[in-house]
Amino acid sequence: MSHQIPFENLDRLLNVEMRRNGLPQGVMPKVYEVARGSGAPLTQRAVEDLNATTGTVGFLTGVYFPPHFENGEIDGPIGAVVLGSALTALGRQAEILIEEKLVPLVEALVQQVGSSVRVVAAESVTTEQVVNGWDALVSIERIGVAENGQTHSIVGTPFSSGFKGMDAIVNGMNAAGKPTIGIGDGGNEIGFGALYDTARQLSPHPVAWTVTATKHVLPVCVSNLGAYALTTGLAIVNDRLDLVPTADEVESLIRLANSLGCLDGGTVDPNFIGDDGIPMSGIRGYVDLMGTIASQYFTPFERHF
């Protein structure tokens, strides 16, 4: 039974934008077409590599940008916890590398889901240790350096805070021939360097486009949703519908992160419960649709007329 149909639908869902006016709109669907080309769905390609990895999958995530994101951004860490937890349920090991300041936040999220995902302070390890210890890498909403050596927000604002060694880790993994996946929604995130020459000018803020490439790059409407889609894909190829994220699970993680001072990136409003400016009802809808895509795929039906 071919898995391509549910992955086609996951790809389509990830390109349904619900951004507020004022943020770049209509960019990622165009970038997706460039990244996809004539090959298989992007989620399928990434899931096949992840599923073939038998050792440790490492995650890069977290936007540490004080004073705006003193305790991180909702988009990124939650997706890493959800996807990492599914991988551990499938017998792999998972580690999340993040700034020391954000370790307690991510550890609380891991505890919430009862997972064995390990959280590591980026400042406590060397590039060589990470590259040697990981068998695959997934970067979720982790900002990469641009051509000028600077990191930028989605609208091109330069910032210099946060751990500086993430790009070197990705480059090291690529050089070692290990699978790397970059998930992002603006082009300024690690991974989009793979599309630097072909898609950068589609962005209204090309100065922010990163030069750091990954083997697989997944342009999506919200980075966390990309992680949920890969989790759903792993559930599909392993016939493990129990691993499909639920709306209740995602909402509980978002609310916990918010209670710990982690802010929504689309509003930067501590009173807003959602992701990238999309209210919780919309996020729940996305997650429910992913679950429906998976469950319908495994529901046999023969029409009698």
pLDDT along the chain (305 residues), means of 10: 88 94 90 97 98 97 90 97 98 97 98 98 97 98 96 91 94 98 98 98 96 98 98 97 98 98 95 97 98 95 92
Local structure of 2: helix, strand or coil: coil
Query: What pLDDT does 267 receive?
Result: 94
Q: 10 Å Cβ neighbour count for 84?
A: 32
CB contact at 8 A, 279 and 245: no
Query: What pLDDT does 204 receive?
Result: 94
Give me the phi and psi of 9, to 5 degrees please: -70, -35
CATH code for the domain defined by 4-297: 3.90.1640.20
CB contact at 8 A, 116 and 78: no
pTM (global) more than 0.95: yes
Structure tokens at 63: 């936007």
Give me the phi and psi of 281, to 5 degrees please: -60, -40
- Pairwise CA distance, residues 269 & 272, whole Å: 5
CB burial string 43-68: b at 16+ within 10 A, e below: bbbbbbbbbebeebbbbbbbbbbeee
Give me the phi and psi of 128, to 5 degrees please: -60, -40
Structure tokens at 18: 């619900």
Query: 149-191 pLDDT, tens per residue?
Result: 999 999 999 988 889 999 999 999 999 999 999 999 999 999 9
Q: 10 Å Cβ neighbour count for 249?
A: 18
- Pairwise CA distance, residues 201 & 127, whole Å: 31
Query: What pLDDT does 1 receive?
Result: 54
Q: Where are the domains of the chain?
A: 4-297
**Element housing 116 (H / E):** none
CB contact at 8 A, 60 and 156: no
Local structure of 197: helix, strand or coil: helix
Query: 213-231 pLDDT, tens per residue?
Result: 999 999 999 999 999 999 9
